[in-house]
């Protein structure tokens, strides 16, 4: 049992069952014992692998997307480029290399990282020394804002509601009957009191049948709103890439990964990566309400192909050994094929109302 499990067990004893969202926030973000606070979870030796860690092509194409969007809005100078949840900084290293060839861009660039993990921020600092770090949105400087977020929203807490006869009731984490102080055990259960806050569910969720489960991420909507208000006011763009669904729907997507294997969500808080699928319709709703235009979501495979990933792979292969060329083909397939990341991962772009449509989203 983990130290964080004992801490959460004490909290539940003292203050009662906690919503799933509160458990997820503590498991991932407790300042001392949270999953992201204590480790680098990425790569073969960690718990999961992300697109920028699979191939340099991913960050390079995202970099070129930023350049095209920046040029399409008249090359504002200076501008803020902010990455949310940059992991090891790999995407930004590859993006900056691609951006070197764009006249005037690096001179105009003011680079910022929004990151809560001290372990990952230290790795980012080694790889991208000239960024400025923030642990929340509000301290980002004003001005035209270009945002990148890859696999950021899936790590933000979700609330879960279940439709009972009496209405939508929230799922809470409580202590199991056999839980002890030394070996706490948690289980999720529904407190059968309808929530007054049902209006946070999308209409497609509210009409779900009895026993259906609906997920909402107020934190994701809040980040999207903050980013969108800034883009509406000062110009800029946002690119959100994550696994999830195009339309709001019912269904339980909460999952935990440890050493690349699925584990029980509630058994080892602080030791496993807990995520939920991103509801892109909810993000789109928050963005439009804040006054920006939304493009997509489209599938990652479609997006990367439209930006020229196949051509980029050929260029890299021309200079590669046969073994490296095979690796490039494997990476290309993982990023784009519908059986791998190509269809599950979606891409949503936000730009000011009336601004030119962003690259990769032409129909």
**218, 224, 230, 236: CA torsion to nearest 10:** 180
Does residue 54 contact residue 335 with C-beta atoms inside 8 Å? Answer: yes
Distance CA 279, CA 284 (A): 9
Query: Among residues 86, 144, 235, 301, which is the contact residue for ligand SAH, using CB under 6 A?
Result: 86
Shortest Å, Cβ 86 to ligand SAH: 5
Shortest Å, Cβ 356 to ligand SAH: 26
47/299 with CB nearer ligand SAH: 47
Residue 345 burial (10 A CB sphere; 0-12, 13-18, 19+): buried
Q: Where are the beta strands (DSSP E) in the chain?
A: 18-19, 79-84, 109-114, 132-134, 145-150, 159-164, 167-175, 186-194, 213-216, 236-245, 255-258, 261-263, 273-275, 278-279, 292-299, 345-352
Segment contacting ligand SAH (CB under 6 A): 86-94, 97-105, 187-195, 251-259?
Answer: 86-94
Shortest Å, Cβ 34 to ligand SAH: 9
Distance CA 121, CA 194 (A): 41
Q: Is 275 in the site for ligand SAH (CB under 6 A)?
A: no
Q: Mark residues 297-336: x for contact with ligand SAH by CB under 6 A, - for none.
A: ----------------------------------------
- The CA-CA-CA angle for residues 306, 105, 146, to 5°, reads 65
Residue with the shortest CB distance to ligand SAH: 85
Number of residues that bind ligand SAH (CB under 6 A): 18
Shortest Å, Cβ 33 to ligand SAH: 14
Query: Among residues 55, 150, 179, 220, which is the contact residue for ligand SAH, using CB under 6 A?
Result: 150
By CB under 6 A, name the binding residues for ligand SAH.
Answer: 36, 42, 50, 52-53, 85-87, 91, 114-117, 120, 150-152, 155
């Amino acid at each position: 049992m983990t130290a964080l499990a004992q801490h959460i067990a004490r909290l539940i004893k003292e203050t009662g069952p906690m919503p799933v969202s509160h458990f997820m926030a503590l498991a991932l973000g407790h300042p001392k014992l949270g999953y992201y606070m204590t480790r680098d979870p990425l790569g073969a030796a960690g718990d999961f692998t992300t697109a920028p860690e699979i191939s340099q092509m991913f960050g390079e194409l995202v970099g070129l997307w930023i350049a095209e969007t920046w040029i399409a809005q008249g090359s504002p100078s200076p501008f803020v480029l902010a990455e949310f949840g940059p992991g090891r900084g790999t995407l930004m290293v590859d993006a900056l290399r691609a951006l070197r060839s764009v006249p005037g861009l690096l001179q105009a660039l003011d680079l910022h990282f929004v990151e809560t993990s001290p372990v990952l921020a230290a790795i980012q600092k080694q790889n991208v020394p000239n960024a400025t770090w923030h642990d929340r949105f509000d301290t980002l400087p004003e001005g035209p804002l270009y945002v990148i977020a890859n696999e950021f929203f899936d790590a933000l807490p979700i609330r879960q509601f279940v439709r009972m006869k009496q209405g939508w009731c929230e799922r809470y984490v409580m202590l199991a009957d056999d839980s002890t102080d030394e070996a706490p055990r948690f289980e999720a259960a529904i407190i059968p009191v309808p929530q007054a806050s049902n209006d946070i569910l999308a209409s497609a969720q509210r009409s779900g049948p009895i026993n259906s489960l609906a997920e909402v991420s107020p934190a994701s909507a809040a980040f999207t709103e903050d980013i969108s208000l800034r883009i509406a006011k000062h110009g800029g763009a946002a690119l959100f890439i994550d696994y999830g669904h195009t339309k709001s729907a019912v269904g339980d997507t909460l999952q935990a990964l440890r050493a690349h294997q699925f584990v029980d969500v509630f058994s080892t808080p602080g030791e496993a990566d807990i995520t939920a699928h991103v509801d892109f319709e909810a993000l789109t709703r928050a963005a439009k309400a804040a006054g920006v235009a939304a493009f997509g979501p489209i599938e990652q495979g479609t997006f990367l192909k439209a930006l020229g990933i196949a051509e980029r792979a050929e260029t890299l292969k021309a200079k590669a050994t046969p073994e490296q060329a095979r690796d490039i083909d494997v990476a290309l397939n993982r990023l784009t094929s519908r059986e791998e990341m190509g269809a599950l991962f979606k891409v949503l772009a936000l730009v000011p109302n009336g601004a030119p449509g962003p690259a990769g989203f032409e129909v």
